[in-house]
Amino acid sequence: MAWRTGNPYDRGQVPTLSPMNDFWPSAGWPLLQTDQQDWLLPTKGWLRRFLDWPELALVPGSCAAERRLHHALLEDPGLAVAEPRLLTLADADTADNYRAFIAFRDALQAAGTLQACYLQQVRSPRVSLAPVFMQAMTQAIVRHLLRHSDDALQARAAELLFRSQRVTVLDGVPLAGDAQTLDLLNETGGFGELGRLLSQAQAPIRAADMKVLTAEMAAGYWRAASSSREHEFLLDLRHELQQDLGHGLQFTLARAQSGLTALSRVLQAWVDHLLGLQVQITPLSRIDDEHWRWHVGLDADASALLNDLYEGREVHPDRHAQLISLFSLRFLQPDQALPEMAGRPVYLGLCRTADGQIRLKPQNLLVNLPVAA
């Protein structure tokens, strides 16, 4: 089964929101409800959106059985669908897509909330839901966390939790752009199907203009994020500036527009919301700690790199170059950490892959922290 990420169409009436609060329409957040814990309750309207995704949407070649099933689920997304009915579909891939959707829907209904379902999945020995549904839950949860925020940098940084990024170093500055958006723009030059045809014909087309997000461009981000252009801004991932004053003194100049600082704030809120842990996360350029006790990689490459550094194994310079940033995580309530970690930092790492992508796994922070029982 090959699910593509798209912008599902929301059916029904959706509350009118201001541009700042109507961002990421693909999350379908206005269609969700909350419980007393402020966790998200799936609704029929929110589930119905997935039936408009390309993997489940009807096409001219859809068989009669598929059309009947699709219309029945549009009428009632919670409808019980037995395996024999799926076997009547003419296309085996389409039947598999329905199985994946039904498994997701059933897991949500059994868990009760998106947060509970997500935690059950990441805490299990094996995630049973298709990645696209895990990403959909992540996006909706993060969208909920940011519902009162007016910080465009935090919203853009939060996209790293559910969208793969591609890193480009321009004049020494690492810039993260949405991987799918960049791939599409590279293919079409920003001109859609016409651009794709021109590209295939090797005709010259205008280079895509993706802007680096700054505080001055916040309004532009909110406008884009409230439309089909919701992932078009680049994020600056530079570290703070440090100036050596001599005599062992250093002066740190914080970057007000640091994407790493914004990401730290989002990860703090993520841990607080899902685990009830109050933590402070700070970007680091290096680890100088003889008593290094615990670390968590925010992606597969970072996990492997931190393990090797912790064990004192030699690391090739090419792997060092993949490191985007280190972070220090501290428990603000020491009794929430394991006794041996009280007052001590947990080090985090974020890397790009060998081909320049960031695939952040926010679930790592939920299952790998040294949390007291």
pLDDT digit string, tens, across residues 242-255: 544 444 443 344 45
Instruction: Indicate whether 5 belongs to any domain.
Output: no
Note the maximum CA span of the chain.
79
Same domain for 229 and 111? no
Last residue of a domain, one of 182, 213, 235: 235
Same domain for 256 and 363? yes
Q: What is the mean pLDDT of residues 2-14?
A: 38
Residue 334 reports pLDDT greater than 50: yes
Residue 295 reports pLDDT greater than 50: yes
**Structure confidence by residue, pLDDT tens digits, 88-130:** 999 999 999 999 999 999 999 999 999 999 999 999 999 999 9
Same domain for 288 and 314? yes
Instruction: Indicate whether 99 belongs to any domain.
Output: yes
Same domain for 97 and 25? yes
Residue 282 reports pLDDT greater than 80: yes
Instruction: Indicate whether 285 belongs to any domain.
Output: yes
* Residues linked to residue 170 through DSSP beta bridges, in sequence order: 173
User: Which pTM value belongs to this model?
Assistant: 0.87
Same domain for 24 and 139? yes
Residue 21 reports pLDDT greater than 90: no
Residue 199 reports pLDDT greater than 50: no
Instruction: Indicate whether 283 belongs to any domain.
Output: yes
Last residue of a domain, one of 199, 216, 235: 235
Residue 56 reports pLDDT greater than 90: yes
**Where is average pLDDT lowest: 206-210, 292-296, 358-362?**
206-210
Same domain for 169 and 140? no
The residue among 338 and 208 whose pLDDT is bigger is 338
Measured between alpha carbons, how far is 300 from 305 in angstroms, rounded to an integer?
Answer: 9
Residue 152 reports pLDDT greater than 60: yes
Measured between alpha carbons, how far is 54 from 164 in angstroms, rounded to an integer?
Answer: 20
Share of the chain above pLDDT 70, in %: 83
Residue 192 reports pLDDT greater than 90: no
pLDDT at 210: 76
pLDDT, the chain, mean = 87
In the chain, how many domains are there? 3
Same domain for 248 and 270? yes
Same domain for 197 and 247? no
**Three-state SS at 208:** coil
Same domain for 245 and 230? no
Instruction: Indicate whether 363 belongs to any domain.
Output: yes
Last residue of a domain, one of 235, 252, 271: 235
Measured between alpha carbons, how far is 83 from 100 in angstroms, rounded to an integer?
Answer: 12
Smallest CA-to-CA distance from 218 within 283, 264, 143, 154 is with 154
Same domain for 25 and 139? yes
Same domain for 126 and 27? yes
Smallest CA-to-CA distance from 25 within 3, 11, 7 is with 7
The half-sphere exposure of 333 on its side-chain side, counting CA atoms within 13 A, is 8
The whole domain housing 123 covers 19-145
